[in-house]
Amino acid sequence: MSPPLDPSSPLPAEFEAWLDWLATQRRASPLTLKAYRAGLHALLRLADGRPVVELEVQDIRRFVARLHGEGQQGRSIARHLSSWRGLYRWLIRHHGARANPVLGVRPPKSPSTLPRVLSPEQANALLDPQAESLLEVRDVAIFELCYSSGLRVAELAGLDVDGGLDLAAGMVIVAGKRQRQRSVPVGSKAVAALAAWLAVRGRLAREGERALFVTRSGGRLSTGGIASRLGHRARLLGLGVHVHPHMLRHSFASHLLQSSGDLRAVQELLGHASIRSTQVYTHLDFQHLAKVYDAAHPRARK
């Protein structure tokens, strides 16, 4: 087996041109670009020196089998195939490639898993305790906003102090995937937590720093920093589960759907381009109803 390529090493010029086009013209998110770059490195490793324009559909199928044999799951392989498919479309359009050998190749199926969510009681246990330090004031504001408005972690990290957030109106405007903007309500507890943070933010932020959420050294707090602080708070409070920012987003969607039953509204608030992405929460809602049924129905109780 050929050794894995360094994911930070440069790619061929035509590969880099395609990624640059995705970033500038399609406004692909940094996470998408990172995943696609990893997929292109995997393609080069598997091609083992053969020019990618010479690869055929049987080669791509063999590559998929190898990735699966190496232990990669269906979702990961599907992301690789998506990057390869897009690359070949670019090569056909701009570099004279004759065919797209990835068309029709499917990844192995992954077991269906539902997103993990906090219960409302767990969410309250995470958010209710009072902040005891400057950093905790910031953290509570971040986590309240994430749970209140269902924001992605990249959307949280990307917020600026002078744009997007309107506490008086109880609204936040964020740029989601492909820079699609959406307005989301901010609940009263999140508004209060954000106001408390804004009152002390100047004690940490560097002069001229635009980021709403800053580190102890005054620069913009990263997505990894947000995830680390959330995990730390969950452990400190003894929640007994690994909590990450997307779990707060899942919990927002699930709890809102349980209360309202309005799938379209949840879709709009989450910023999903397709209703299919939102429909997973109907399964979570059914699980909740099934538990209520099992506990309450006289012929279901054990």
Of 256, 127, 119, nearest to 189 by C-alpha is 127
Q: Is 163 buried (19+), middle (13-18) or exposed (0-12) by CB count in 10 A?
A: exposed
| Phi, psi angle pair for 220, to nearest 5° | -65, 135
How far apart CA 232 and CA 212 sit, in angstroms, is 21
SS3 letters across 139-187: HHHHHHHHHHHCCCHHHHHCCECCECEECCCCEEEEECHHHCEEEEECC
How far apart CA 184 and CA 98 sit, in angstroms, is 46
The residue with tokens 């580190």 is: 215
Of 262, 233, 237, nearest to 245 by C-alpha is 233
Helix axes 275-296, 263-270, angle to 10 degrees: 130
Long-range contacts of 216-221 (CB under 8 A, 24+ apart): 216/135, 220/157, 221/138, 221/142, 221/157
What 3-state class would DSSP assign to 211? strand
How far apart CA 236 and CA 35 sit, in angstroms, is 32
Q: Residue type at 137?
A: V
The catalytic residues are 152, 177, 246, 249, 272, 281
What 3-state class would DSSP assign to 31? helix
